[in-house]
Amino acid sequence: MDDTKVTEEIDNDMEALSSDGFSEVKETEKKEKKKWKRWQKILFGTIIAILIVLVGAISAIFILRQRGENRLKAEEHYTTYNGKRYKFREDVVNILCLGIDKNEPIAHIERKRGNIGMSDAILLVSIDLKEDEVKIFAIPRDSMADIQTTSSDGQLQDKQRMQLCYQYAYGVSMEQSNELTVDAVSHLLYDTPIQRCCAINFEALPVLNDAIGGVDVVIEEDLEEFVPEFIYGEEIHLEGKLALSFVRSRNTKRVDGVVLRTQRQKQYALAFAEKAKDVISENPTLPITLFQELQKDKNMCTDITVEDITYLMPELFKISFSDDIIQVLPGESVLGESGFAEYKLDVDSVKKMIIDTFYEEVE
């Protein structure tokens, strides 16, 4: 074998050896690079899990908000005023809030007309999502209205003129009472749409009040004879049953005792709203927690859903509360022929208030 041939064979062997060795080294390096330490795997898995939860939560909130927005839109509604045509504003959500004079959970109340109780507090909460405003209309319980009567099994009968608070008693269940009262209030306010209703019995109020740490108010009415703690001109911290006494007590010696109580309910609602806004800003889940708690304890009957709350809560945080946020429907208290107080609405003033708040002129 000549020298040239030997040299070529040695070069080829060296090249093959070098190539194989280099490939093995590269594969080893790749394996070492791909091999993660245990803590790295745990950290990566945790990050992925958190991201999945966040994406899921954001998606769920978005879906809930979208559903709430769609469900709360009122159907198109028109009315006339002074010869002009008006349309109900689509950015307005009206919720009727009722305080029922019952001290027992809904589940314990027999489904029977007259057992459900009457609505002692009637508030229409109007949320303007476009202007970021809330207005609350306090409707005196003795406001004279067309009341839908029912038979003992809940079948609709004729309508009669009487105090608005009686409408609730004509339902054989709180669900029916809610529906009847929504219809009565809507008709009283010239068929203005009301999208939701929430009725709570008086056992629920101390729960709501204490959940935000109580409310501070100044006693602006002489009630010491009825509640010793309520000394005229004094500031008092309302907790537990004392909060219930503040919104429920009335001076039975005055014909305008119900109107004065409505003013007091307005005072409490404003103080509660201001305090609740601060508390909820620190604990955003509180409204849903309370909502579920009241439903569990059967102290509330409502068609408001979690979707509705999820949609409305961020909007409410944009709103500031002022003294004129709550208005009592204009009118006067008189002693009726039956010997009971009657609240006569100022029809013209109420109609103008409704048009200015809920409607826009159609050209």
Q: What is the C-alpha separation between 134 and 136, in angstroms, rounded? A: 7
Q: What is the C-alpha separation between 251 and 140, in angstroms, rounded? A: 15
Q: Is the pLDDT of residue 99 over 90?
A: no
Q: What is the C-alpha separation between 360 and 363, in angstroms, rounded? A: 9
Q: How far apart are the first and last CA of the chain?
A: 111
**pLDDT for 240-269, tens place per residue?**
889 888 888 877 777 777 778 878 888 888
More confident residue, 114 or 243: 243
Local structure of 152: helix, strand or coil: coil
In Å, how far are 148, 232, 321 from 168, measured between CA atoms? 10, 33, 30
Return the pLDDT at 318. Answer: 66
The set of residues, in sequence order, having a beta carbon less than 8 Å from that of 97 and lying 6+ positions away, is 121, 122, 123, 124, 125, 197, 198, 199
Residue 150 is encoded by which pair of tokens?
Answer: 């029912």
Residue 236 pLDDT class (50, 70, 90 cuts)? very high
Residue 315 pLDDT class (50, 70, 90 cuts)? low
**pLDDT for 121-158, tens place per residue?**
898 988 888 887 888 898 999 999 999 999 988 899 99
Q: Is the pLDDT of residue 235 over 90?
A: yes
Q: Is the pLDDT of residue 223 over 90?
A: no
Q: What is the C-alpha separation between 93 and 264, in angstroms, rounded? A: 25
Residue 90 pLDDT class (50, 70, 90 cuts)? confident
Phi and psi angles of residue 144, each rounded to the nearest 5 degrees, phi first = -75, 130
Q: Within 13 A of 230's CA, how many CA atoms are on the CB side? A: 23
Q: How many CB atoms lie within 10 A of CB 42?
A: 11
CA-closest candidate to residue 187, choices 149, 144, 158: 144
Most confident range, picked from 54-68, 74-88, 228-242, 273-287: 228-242
Return the pLDDT at 314. Answer: 67
Q: Is the pLDDT of residue 231 over 70?
A: yes
Q: What is the C-alpha separation between 261 and 277, in angstroms, rounded? A: 24
CA-closest candidate to residue 215, choices 170, 270, 282, 175: 270
Return the pLDDT at 181. Answer: 96
Evaluate whether 287 touches 305 at the Cβ level (below 8 Å): no
Residue 27 pLDDT class (50, 70, 90 cuts)? low
Evaluate whether 259 touches 343 at the Cβ level (below 8 Å): yes
Residue 52 pLDDT class (50, 70, 90 cuts)? very low
More confident residue, 15 or 132: 132
Return the pLDDT at 25. Answer: 47
Q: Is the pLDDT of residue 163 over 90?
A: yes
> What is the full DSSP assignment across 299-328?
-EEE---HHHHHHHHHHHTTPPP-GGGEEE
In Å, how far are 35, 206, 208, 242, 279 from 239, measured between CA atoms? 62, 7, 10, 6, 16
Local structure of 73: helix, strand or coil: coil
Residue 201 pLDDT class (50, 70, 90 cuts)? confident
More confident residue, 46 or 141: 141
Return the pLDDT at 189. Answer: 93
Across 44-73, average pLDDT = 48
Q: How big is the chain, counted in residues?
A: 363
